[in-house]
Chain A
Amino acid sequence: MTDTTPLIRIRDLHFRRGERVIFNGVDLDIFPGGITAIMGPSGTGKTTLLQLIGGQLKPTRGTVEVDGQPVHELRRSALYALRRKMGMLFQNGALLTDMNVFENIAYPIREHTELPESMIRTLVLMKLEAVGLRGARALMPNQLSCGMARRVALARGIALDPMIMMYDEPFTGQDPISMGVLVRLIRSLNEAMGLTSIIVSHDIAETCEIADMIYLLAEGRVVAKGSLPELQQHESAWARQFLNGEPDGPVPFHYPAADLAEDLLTMTGT
């Protein structure tokens, strides 16, 4: 952490999808230069949080400020200008399937700059070199393995040298080698490019290995925050259950349901 002013400041965030409450008063600060992990069980709205930061969703109540600007109040052009400073790695890569690897990375550069072709080529090749896939530039997205697709998406995310890089479940479904590659890449890119990274994940070991700050979310709130050693000492039973991966505890094994005996005796319905 190099600065004490948060780059992303979330206050009293409330968000609901239909009747379902996703966030119920979340306060969260993300400081520049570090890697912040946001962890929590599936369905706690971690991806939703990234969409709120990126301005793809609007909070029901509360504020989301990025670089001093309230994302949810920005006009379209200001929001798009802010998004140019953000990169995002989607869970499945989200590469444009009608373009090859080279064109995918060149896409944001072509859209937002008037650079000559030779310079675009140099930029793209440098980004591909950074993720180790310069040799794969002519391949189409359907020819890439899952891990390679994510690295290409990462190269595309950093194509415009963003200020903030957001990773949505970057380690899900990766084999041990590509997992290790991604963990190292995220750390080294963060340092080399002076990024501020946000990782949303439930892969505890990999995420904790590189995160400077960890927020644990559950039931719409921040349950615990701090560095890994701090969290391991945390008094919250939930935080310990999550970090140790115990099946039952404050987070119940069973989805809320009627009494079992009563349910079994009901003869109709699903």
Chain B
Amino acid sequence: MFFDWLQQLGHRGLDIFERIGRAHLLFFAILAGQPGLLSRPRLVIAQLYSVGVLSLLIIVMSGLFVGMVLALQGYNTLVKFGAEESLGTVVALSLVRELGPVVAALLFAGRAGSALTAEIGLMKTTEQLSAMEMMAVDPIRRILAPRFLAGFIAMPLLASIFSAVGVFGGYFVGVGQLGVDAGSYWSQMQANVDIYDDIVNGVIKSLVFGLVVTWIAIFEGHDCTPTSEGVSRATTRTVVHSSLAVLALDFILTALMFGD
């Protein structure tokens, strides 16, 4: 009984390591496919549209609401200390450093990551990837590499849009509804948000998140069991694993960037 359990545990452990190994091999194969994309920018542009542009609505709407909530919450606390003029700084720093990259990455995992996994998984299930291989077309270069690059490029752009829209959301609520002075909202923000410490660090975060989320999504699709149940499980795993990865990496990156 105990040995059965031990054997099962060992099996699961080995499976996990094998999957991690396959994920890395795929990652390197995708990286090796990147230079080939220079001669076929259209493949990347088409994917930028589907992972980036089609995610815009959810990103803009969420950014707006998150900015509005930040302004409301921030105002209620700041007003107790008579510091409501700092609302612009609170909203902008929260968005640029944390909520922009993180929430945009979580939304990206749900919207674009799941779509990538399902698309690639279905292509595998319906033998489209095999058919490409037999046509002497490498699916890693033609299908996976452009999707990876598009995800990597789209994520920081989406996170920036999220933060920018959020700042305006905070403005509408803070200045429009709660009566914070418009001049101090913007000038406090300008004075206290640093380009390197805050904005560049935020962008680095979202680049890392974009890489990880897209990698997980593509790997799960490519590695799924080629059945309808397999695709559905892979899609779920993409959202769960990439959300957890984003939150864990956010902690690590924050500790590295702002932890001193």
Contact flags (1/0) for A100-136 with B, using CB distance below 8 Å? Answer: 0000000110011000000000000000000000000
Main secondary structure of the interface of A (DSSP, over half): mixed
Cβ contacts under 8 Å, A91 to chain B: 127
| A264-B98 Cα distance, complex, nearest whole Å | 61
- B124-175 at interface with A (beta carbon < 8 Å): 126-128, 130-138, 142
> Which one of A56, A95, A153, A156 lies within 8 Å of B133 (CB-CB)?
A56
Distance in angstroms between the alpha carbons of A153 and B128 in the assembled complex: 11
Instruction: Give the segment of A5-13, A77-85, A172-180, A241-249 that binds chain B.
Output: A77-85
Determine whether A94 belongs to the interface, using a CB cutoff of 8 Å to chain B: yes
The reply to whether B131 and A80 contact each other, CB–CB distance below 8 Å, is: no
Bin chain A's interface residue count.
Answer: 20 to 34
Asked whether A86 is an interface residue with its Cβ less than 8 Å from the other chain, the reply is: yes
Residue in B128, B134, B136, B138 whose beta carbon sits within 8 Å of that of A96 in the complex: B128
Q: Establish whether residues B131 and A88, one from each chain, have CB atoms under 8 Å apart when the complex forms.
A: yes
**A164–B44 alpha-carbon span in the complex (Å):** 33
Q: Is the CB of A111 within 8 A of B135?
A: yes
**Interchain CB contact under 8 A, A86 and B128:** no
Residue of chain A at shortest CB distance from B143: A96
A40 at the interface (CB under 8 A from B): no
Cα–Cα, bound, A87→B142 (Å): 19
Asked if A112 and B126 sit within 8 Å, CB to CB, the answer is no
Report the nearest B residue to A85, measured CB to CB: B136
- The reply to whether B134 and A86 form a contact with Cβ atoms under 8 Å apart is yes
Does B136 lie within 8 Å of A84, measured CB to CB? yes
Whether A97 sits at the interface, judged by CB under 8 Å, is yes
B131 touches A81 (CB 8 A): no
By the criterion CB–CB under 8 Å, are B128 and A83 in contact?
no
Which residues from 91 to 146 on chain B have a C-beta closer than 8 Å to any C-beta of chain A? 123, 126-128, 130-138, 142
A-B contact count (CB 8 A): 50
CB-based contact A97/B133 at 8 Å: no
Interface-centre pick from B123, B137, B138, B142 (highest chain A CB count, 10 A): B137
Write the nearest CB–CB distance from B169 to chain A, whole angstroms. 36
Within 8 A of B (CB), among A35-72: 51, 54, 56
A112 touches B136 (CB 8 A): yes
- Give the shortest distance, in Å, between A146 (CB) and chain B (any CB): 13
Q: What A residues does B142 contact at CB under 8 A?
A: 111
Which of A86, A111, A112 is packed against the most chain B CB atoms within 10 Å?
A111
Is the Cβ of A107 less than 8 Å from the Cβ of B130?
no
Q: Which residue of chain A has its CB nearest to the CB of B142?
A: A111
B130 touches A94 (CB 8 A): yes
Contacts of B127 in A (CB 8 A): 90-92, 94
- A108 engages B130 (CB within 8 Å): no
A156 to B137, CA, bound (A): 13
Closest to A153 in B: B131
Q: Which of A81, A97, A112, A160 contacts B128 (CB 8 A)?
A: A97
Q: Assess whether A56 is in contact with B130, with CB atoms less than 8 Å apart.
A: yes
B 171-202 to A, binary, CB cutoff 8 A, 1 in contact else 0 = 00000000000000000000000000000000
Contacts of A84 in B (CB 8 A): 136
A107 near B126 (CB under 8 angstroms)? no
A107: B residues at CB distance < 8 A: 135, 137
Q: How far is the CA of A42 from the CA of B23 in the complex (A)?
A: 32
Contacts of B134 in A (CB 8 A): 54, 56, 83, 86-88
Are A94's CB and B138's CB within 8 A?
no
Chain B residues in 8 Å Cβ range of A87? 134
Given contacts A54-B133, A92-B127, 6 further A-B contacts (CB under 8 A): A90-B130, A91-B127, A94-B126, A95-B131, A97-B128, A108-B137
B interface residues (Cβ-Cβ under 8 A, vs A): 123, 126-128, 130-138, 142
**Complex A-B: 9 CB contacts under 8 Å:** A54-B134, A56-B134, A87-B134, A90-B127, A92-B126, A96-B132, A108-B135, A108-B136, A111-B136
